[in-house]
Amino acid sequence: MDEKTKISPVSSDLQLYRDTMHVDPKINTRASKFPYCIVWTPLPLITWILPFIGHMGIGTTQGIIRDFAGPYYVSEDDMAFGKPTKYWQLDVDSVGYDVWDRAVYEASEIYKGRMHNLCCDNCHSHVAMALNNMRYKGSQSWNMVKLCFLMLWHGKYVNCCGFIKTWLPFFLLAGGIVTVVLALHLT
């Protein structure tokens, strides 16, 4: 095969997306398909204490979720901590379908070679790299802190159970602490 006929992994993957692309894929919460969305799910223990911190992934134009799930591993359609409980659908038209998929693919390939670090280089960083690669909203300043707060503000719960899964442990823990403090002060 000569140089002109070789197909890079990026172009063959993008061709697969083009071949299966619907005109306007819709969010399908039952099937966990979230096209051009940032998705979020609670992290056990951490979200119970700080309910705005959780695990994040990004959907391709076909809704396939990619998330940096651990050291040297980016999962596909199998989020590390369960199905998404929140999503934030972004404007794919601002960058285009091919650019979106290429940016998600490239960020995922880079993160397959990285060590996971809970505080500095994590799932939020993976999503930020994808957004920076595609220059979403004309910006290359996406980062994990910005995404954390934007997801808190713009994220929509998948359903009532998603809301409960996110907030119930926090309220139970907070209620328990308040009860113990009040009980100690009243005795």
Please identify which residue in the block is written with the tokens 């719960």.
157
User: 33 with 64: CB under 8 angstroms?
Assistant: yes
CA distance 1 to 166: 52
| pLDDT at residue number 7 | 34
How buried is residue 121: exposed, middle or buried, by Cβ count under 10 Å (0-12/13-18/19+)? middle
Spatial distance between the Cα atoms of 180 and 126, rounded to a whole number of angstroms: 40
CA 34 to CA 95: how far, in whole Å? 17
Q: What are phi and psi of 44, to 5 degrees?
A: -55, 145
Q: What is the pLDDT of residue 39?
A: 98
Measured CA to CA, the distance from residue 9 to residue 76 in angstroms comes to 16
pLDDT (tens place) for every residue of the chain, 187 residues total: 444 333 344 445 555 444 444 445 789 988 999 999 999 999 999 999 999 999 999 999 999 999 999 999 999 999 999 999 999 999 998 899 999 999 999 999 999 999 998 888 999 999 999 999 999 999 999 999 999 999 999 999 999 999 999 999 999 999 999 999 999 988 7
Q: Which amino acid is at 113?
A: G
Please tell me the distance from the alpha carbon of residue 169 to that of residue 126, in angstroms, as a whole number: 27
pLDDT given at position 72? 92
Please state the pTM of the whole predicted model. Answer: 0.83
CA atoms within 13 Å, Cβ hemisphere of 112: 10
CA gap 40, 113 in Å, rounded: 23
Give backbone dihedrals phi and psi of 178, rounded to 5 degrees, phi first: -60, -40
What residues form DSSP beta bridges with 52? Answer: none
pLDDT, position 142:
96
Q: Please give the C-alpha separations between residue 131 and each of 11, 127, 172, in angstroms, as whole numbers.
A: 19, 6, 35
- What pLDDT score does 13 carry? 52
